[in-house]
Chains A and B, each alone.
Chain A
């Protein structure tokens, strides 16, 4: 072969090599991208729902598990007593309509909040409706002893059952509103619920692990409160935590957030009454 011919052959060879390498590199990048995509999808699917029970110390878990140590047991006993106590002008008790709570209230707490008379209703609100409209009593009031005793007693009848709320179109509209609120930045700290509890769940904030924030044990005995309290109280605490004016009790916003959170916790086992730090 002559030198020019050799040069030509070499040039063509290098051209082909260049083309081959470019294709190979592009293909590798494409495969890598697909791998990352699928792995994150798999990760998202396999990032199982985790109750904040798992994040507690052994001592606090024992507190929740043993009813002879769980302070919420007192609210449970108060609720049990109230259930059969005739009250009001018609001398009716919860049992007068609902009979044995162990039978009639089974699964109820795991299905709230729900649409009742075209209004999004929480379990606490439903108890108030029963007391005012059926028993002719005055409202017990949010976080009152009576309200918490009854909601603890009713919720405990769903202990061990999976959370499942209605997904009718009307309910979906409420859940979507709740989703918007969950993703909205609020407060002086300008944080949304999602930023901590979706994006950073499992990471640490000042030594504590950030929970996924599922309402799987309400009403809870919160060590911080030294009392049993509702999900609405806890959500208001969250808002104060990011230095935001908290939504008032019984506001549409809190109910919609509750609806969204319960939808998000679909399938999780109810632990009520839980203990949390």
Chain B
């Protein structure tokens, strides 16, 4: 079983080489998050990030992010940033909501180049930051073209 995993790992690595010259490190992700929040403290909570724990193909991964917020005229979510710790570029997509959004729930589809942690950072209307994350295992399809 270990040999098979190693084999798949080697194939996965060779499969990834054409895709990126340099994979981001968690440090790049941290730098991206620092750029967003500046010197503010990011609290953990309120943000729920749903990504399938096992992904059949990293090219199109369903993603849903929900923030616990009353979404009133004065208390609402302003932005939700999605940051990947293992992609070539950490910034994936950012959603800008308004006090007319009604719900702070967004769905989209993202690319994940390998198994990693994906982080969602939400900025509230009062300037505070909250974060949530999801860990996922990304596998490769069988019999690819390259």
Contact = CB atoms under 8 A, between A and B. Distances in A.
Are A and B close enough to touch in the complex, i.e. CB under 8 Å? yes
A226 B60 contact: yes
A226 B59 CA distance: 7
A277 interface: yes
Interface stretch (B50-58, B68-76, B83-91, B125-133): B50-58
Nearest to A241: B143
A58 B129 CA distance: 32
B144 interface: yes
A26 B55 CA distance: 53
Judged by DSSP, the binding face of B is: loop
B7 interface: yes
Contacts of B4: 206
A57 B143 contact: no
Given A224-B145, A237-B144, A241-B143, A206 B59 contact: no
A224 B8 contact: no
Given A59-B61, A224-B145, A241-B143, 15 more contacts: A57-B52, A60-B56, A62-B62, A63-B60, A208-B142, A222-B141, A223-B57, A223-B59, A223-B60, A225-B145, A226-B60, A237-B144, A240-B143, A240-B144, A277-B56
Contact of B8 (A71, A206, A277): A206
A241 B56 contact: no
B62 A224 contact: no
B139 interface: yes
A206 B7 contact: yes
Contacts of B8: 206-207
A205 interface: yes
Interface of A: 56-57, 59-60, 62-63, 71, 205-208, 210, 222-226, 236-238, 240-242, 277
A57 B142 contact: no
A246 to B, nearest CB: 9
A222 B5 CA distance: 24
Contacts of B60: 63, 71, 223, 226
A57 B56 contact: yes
Q: What's the interface size class on B, roughly? A: 20 to 34
Contact of A208 (B52, B56, B145, B146): B56
A226 B57 CA distance: 10
30 contacts: A57-B54, A57-B55, A57-B56, A59-B61, A59-B62, A60-B56, A62-B62, A63-B60, A71-B60, A205-B142, A206-B4, A206-B7, A206-B142, A207-B8, A208-B139, A210-B142, A223-B56, A223-B59, A224-B59, A224-B144, A226-B59, A226-B60, A236-B145, A237-B143, A237-B145, A238-B143, A240-B146, A242-B143, A277-B57, A277-B141
Interface string B108-146: 000000000000000000000000000000010111111
Nearest to A204: B4
A206 B146 CA distance: 18
Interface string B26-67: 000000000000000000000000001011110111100000
B76 to A, nearest CB: 27
A71 B139 CA distance: 21
Contact of B52 (A59, A205, A206, A225): A59
Contact of A207 (B59, B61, B139, B143): B139
Q: Which of B55, B59, B60, B142 has the most CB of A within 10 A?
A: B142
A75 to B, nearest CB: 15
A241 B139 contact: no
Contacts of A210: 142
A112 to B, nearest CB: 23
